């Protein structure tokens, strides 16, 4: 798992797995293998997938707790879809809202207790995950080495305007699944976008230096998948 994550990125594994599951479900439905059910009836499996990858790929107690919450919510909703548990949606969504809110509050206090509040993050890598919400990160590392950004029904904002790159090239895996990712970079960086859009896309709004201005010495490569979402890079 660690070697696969190192090569393809945590977010890429999540998005790729979800796309495969969606395609497989649609294919099984077309061949009538699902019987009386439709592929859409299995949508809670997506939550289970998120939970599994949170458990396997993310360090820290908040990630583990959220992983089990995703798995539990997905399993519960899956049982409801097949009428094994009969609970009205009017009762389910307030409970999910309360659990989600309590988790957000707890995770905020947990991180504050372990990491005193600061104006920015000087870590050499970033690993941000936003689902049904958003994250805002300012990174001023003197040796930025890339990382992972994943937005699912939410948004990730990363400000690298004060960061520096020592190596010639670094890579950010940015994935948007019904969400958006915004990245701000220093003007002197060269940005290369190698992402793939499916009903979504990547947009490079950075100023590309001309020959008279001098060629940029550092390069940031942004790659990944935008599925019904978008990734925007600007300076």
Q: What is the pLDDT of residues 81-109, one digit of tens each?
A: 887 777 777 777 788 778 777 766 666 56
Query: Do 65 and 54 meet the contact criterion of CB atoms below 8 Å apart?
Result: no
CA 72 – CA 221 distance, rounded (Å): 36
Q: Give residue 182's pLDDT.
A: 93
What interhelical angle do 45-57 and 10-30 show, nearest 10?
150
Q: Give residue 181's pLDDT.
A: 92
Residues of the chain scoring pLDDT < 70: 1-15, 57-63, 103-122, 208-217
CA 76 – CA 85 distance, rounded (Å): 8
DSSP 207: -
Bridge pairing between strands 196-198 and 147-152: unpaired
Q: Give residue 183's pLDDT.
A: 93
Q: Give residue 11's pLDDT.
A: 56
Query: Do 149 and 156 meet the contact criterion of CB atoms below 8 Å apart?
Result: yes
Listed residue (2, 102, 3) closest to 59, CA to CA? 2
Residue 49: burial class (beta carbons within 10 Å; 0-12, 13-18, 19+): buried
DSSP 208: P
Q: Give residue 117's pLDDT.
A: 40
SS3 call for 219: strand
Listed residue (142, 42, 118, 50) closest to 82, CA to CA? 42
Q: Give residue 158's pLDDT.
A: 92
Listed residue (111, 117, 149) closest to 130, CA to CA? 149
Domains of the chain: which residue ranges?
A: 2-114, 126-234
Global pTM value: 0.58
Q: Give residue 210's pLDDT.
A: 57
Q: Give residue 213's pLDDT.
A: 58
Q: Give residue 119's pLDDT.
A: 45
């Amino acid at each position: 798992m660690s070697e696969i994550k190192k090569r393809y990125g945590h977010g890429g594994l999540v998005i790729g797995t979800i796309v495969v599951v969606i395609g497989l479900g649609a294919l099984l439905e077309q061949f009538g293998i699902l019987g009386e059910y439709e592929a859409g009836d299995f949508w809670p499996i997506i939550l289970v997938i998120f939970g599994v990858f949170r458990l396997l790929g993310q360090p820290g107690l908040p990630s583990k707790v959220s992983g089990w919450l995703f798995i539990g919510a997905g399993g519960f909703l899956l049982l409801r879809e097949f009428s094994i548990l009969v609970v009205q949606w009017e009762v389910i969504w307030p409970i999910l809202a309360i659990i989600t809110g309590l988790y957000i509050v707890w995770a905020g206090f947990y991180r504050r207790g372990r990491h005193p509040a600061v104006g920015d993050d000087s870590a050499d890598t970033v690993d941000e995950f936003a689902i049904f919400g958003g994250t805002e990160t300012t990174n001023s590392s003197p040796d930025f080495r890339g990382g992972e950004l994943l937005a699912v029904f939410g948004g990730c904002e990363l400000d690298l305007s004060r960061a520096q790159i020592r190596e010639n090239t670094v890579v950010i895996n940015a994935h948007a699944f019904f969400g958006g990712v915004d990245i701000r970079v220093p003007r002197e960086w060269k940005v290369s976008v190698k992402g793939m859009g499916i009903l979504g896309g990547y947009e490079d709004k950075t100023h590309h230096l001309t020959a008279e201005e001098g060629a940029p010495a550092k390069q940031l490569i942004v790659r990944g998948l935008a599925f019904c979402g978008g990734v925007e890079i600007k300076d």
